[in-house]
Chain A
Amino acid sequence: MLQEIFAFLYQFGDAFAFLVLSAAGLAIIFGMMGIINLAHGEFIMCGAYVTVTTARLGLPLPLAILCGALAAGLAGILVERLIIHRLYHRPLDSIVATWGISLIVTQTVLILLGSTMPGIGTPLGSFSIGAFSYSEYRLVLMAVAVLLLIALYLLFNTTRFGLLSRATIQKPQMAQALGVKTSRVYSLTFGLGAALAGLAGGLYAPTMTLVPTMGVTFIVESFVTVVVGGADVFLGTAPAAAVLALIKAVMTGWQGQLFGQIGLLVTVIVVIRILPRGISGWFLKERT
């Protein structure tokens, strides 16, 4: 009995970590700028590729993952400067533009690096409780997901960047009038979102095969989490990830991976009917 409870908790934690890590970058960009970044999966792929390349060159894995996140973040700032910042007054067009970027990047990587790349094995070992064996690396991922949420909370609530970005989110004109360089805040935020996507890619790179279309693996889960969560990372993404992880763990345990995904999709379609602005919209109802 205890073994089964642990097995379920492990499943839940694994799903929670995956949802939080894959959605955090998307949620920050959406929450700050109202843009859904359809190239999210490509930033994840970028992070994974850079992580694996640097790790194979001999860098220790944690540093390699940071390199992956940094590379994705820089790519994000570049994309924002070159393309997205021309389209702030047309949010729907900016989404279409990010899809164009996604097509270009996936196919260019396919042309340049081939259809697959040698990966690195999953680090750390495994342990077993009862009849089941578990990966220790997955436990690390769960811890990272929780730490990431704490770090983001601190970033947005205690630092100067957090203050300026919250000001920009709430009243961009007023923030600009008070001397905040809002365009720089937008660039940095987009870069931060991309870096978080790269981090997710780096963290999951050792556990999956590296193909140019690997972003698609993450994209449905991250979309679903952001739609259910709404515009706020802490009041939205985190609780949404918890609820969805529960559904996913139950469905996956019952019928397998694919039904976990279908369960998520059905949940999101029902949730938008009841809570069109997501969980955070429901929490913040009285404030708006």
Chain B
Amino acid sequence: MNRGPRRAPSAQERSARQSPGDNLRPQAVRLAPLPGILGRLNGPQTMGRGRAFWSGFALLLALAIVYPLFVDGWTVGNTAYFFTWTFMAMGLCLIWGYGGALSFGQTAFFGLSGYSYGVLAINLGSAYGLTFAALAIAVLASLLLAAVLGYFLFYGRISGVFLGIVTLSVTLVFETFMAQTAGPEWAIGAARLNGFNGMTGMPPLTLPWPGGDLALFPGIPLYYLLLATMVLCYLALRVLVNSRFGNVLVAIRENPQRAEMLGYDVRRYQLGTFVIGSGLAGLSGVFYTAWGQYITPSSMGLTAAALPIVWVAVGGRRDLTATLLGTLIVLSAFQSLTVYGSQYALVVMGLLLLFTVLLAPEGFIPAVVRAVTRLPWIDRAQSSRSQAERERRP
């Protein structure tokens, strides 16, 4: 592989780079005439557009908003627990589904941010909204680790296979490290790491509220906070993947050499994706820790690391909507199976992963959508992409 110096692109080249996105945009605008950045909510890289899709989206969102009024407190808290995981899933969808880089180590960022939140929240306390500062710093820690690790991985131009096992090794070694921090010497400030038994006692996310701080224990306020964050992340990622960045990312997934020849710095785009996706995994870690005021090293182990892969692969890794819905469905199925014992549930997860790879490599949700509607969304996206390619030719 060539690692020669690249010259800076000329102005002409830069305007040529803009063109693929602009070629695709008119179609999206025609279907959903939204101004500016919101126009990017629809586009060739996401399944679902037009009135029907967004009506369904609004209906689902409305259902999610009124949901806490109809169920008991435990179910609301439990649904909020499902929401905590979706960020890691969407991040992996971005890295793996859109970027084509298979990271097995998202749980390393999950754990790093989870532990960071715990340590910071215990030491800073929950007054003045400081738990949200702890959240921000904890996510920042993941972003930093991802940037450093990603620099070595992507700028070393290692192949997809090695990327997976190096990231997996990182998370396994991190797990081993945290598991041996049982002694009293392993404490940061007032926070004991507690080794294999995990860390407890950190305050939950706490909103400064007129008339007394509002501690977000698993319940209705936390449910709404997570729902809002999840929907925001989902929409923001939709904009991201339909923007120029997302188009280039998909071009890199489809053919890195071609993207490179067209003048894009493949390494920079992949690093950016990895950092964003890992930050989302970190956000999941913080929410998980704050939800249960508890985190253990086994949340980074081999089994824990496999679960995000299962959710994203089963739902449909190449589409954000499919990933999000798939994750929520698989999580609730997993939990109802856990009634019979978590070992059985994990066997089912393994089988599910195996069958997905063998029978529906694109994931079950795109397969179902295609079968039900007979409208080949994915193919249409691909044909609009190839149409854009044809138009680009002189």
Contact = CB atoms under 8 A, between A and B. Distances in A.
Contact of B169 (A103, A213, A224): A224
Contact of A104 (B151, B165, B354, B357): B354
Which of A90, A103, A274 gathers the greatest number of chain B CB atoms within 10 Å? A103
Contacts of A223: 165-166, 168-169
B177 A213 contact: no
B350 interface: yes
Interface string B297-328: 00001110010011001000000000000000
B353 A219 contact: no
DSSP class of A's interface residues: helix, strand, loop or mixed? helix
A176 interface: no
Contacts of A224: 169
A95 interface: yes
B343 A107 contact: yes
Interface in A210-236: 213, 216, 219-220, 223-224, 226-227
Contacts of B158: 227, 272, 276
Contact of A103 (B149, B160, B313, B350): B350
A96 B156 contact: no
Contact of B156 (A36, A258, A262, A272): A272
B168 A100 contact: no
Interface stretch (A118-126, A135-143, A263-271): A263-271
A276 B173 contact: no
A250 B164 CA distance: 27
Interface string A75-101: 000000001001100111111110111
B343 A36 contact: no
A220 B305 CA distance: 14
A258 to B, nearest CB: 6
A44 B32 CA distance: 55
Interface string B342-377: 011011011111100110010000000000000000
A111 B344 contact: yes
Interface magnitude class on chain A: 35 or more
Given A95-B164, A100-B354, A223-B165, A108 B347 contact: yes
Given A97-B357, A111-B343, A106 B303 contact: yes
A99 B347 contact: no
Nearest to B149: A269
Contacts of B302: 41, 102, 213, 216, 219
B1 interface: yes
A95 B102 contact: yes
Contact of B166 (A87, A107, A110, A269): A269
A258 B182 CA distance: 14
A223 to B, nearest CB: 4
A287 interface: no
Contacts of A160: none
Contacts of B156: 272-274, 276
B157 interface: yes
Given A92-B102, A265-B170, A272-B156, A97 B353 contact: yes
Interface in A6-33: 30
A102 B169 CA distance: 16
A54 interface: no
Interface in B68-119: 102, 104
B193 interface: no
A83 B169 contact: no
B186 interface: no
B152 interface: yes
Interface in B146-162: 149, 151-153, 155-162
A100 B357 CA distance: 9
Contacts of B162: 227, 272
A172 interface: no
Interface in A239-280: 258, 261-262, 265, 268-270, 272-274, 276
A272 B165 CA distance: 12
B165 A227 contact: yes
Contact of B354 (A97, A107, A110, A220): A97
Pairs A-B, 5 closest by C-beta atoms? A103-B350, A100-B353, A104-B350, A100-B354, A273-B156
20 contacts: A30-B161, A36-B161, A92-B102, A93-B361, A95-B102, A97-B354, A99-B104, A100-B306, A104-B354, A106-B303, A106-B346, A107-B344, A220-B172, A227-B162, A261-B173, A261-B176, A262-B173, A269-B149, A270-B152, A276-B158
Interface of A: 30, 34-36, 38, 41, 83, 86-87, 90-97, 99-104, 106-108, 110-111, 213, 216, 219-220, 223-224, 226-227, 258, 261-262, 265, 268-270, 272-274, 276
Given A100-B352, A102-B306, 5 more contacts: A96-B102, A99-B306, A262-B173, A265-B169, A272-B153
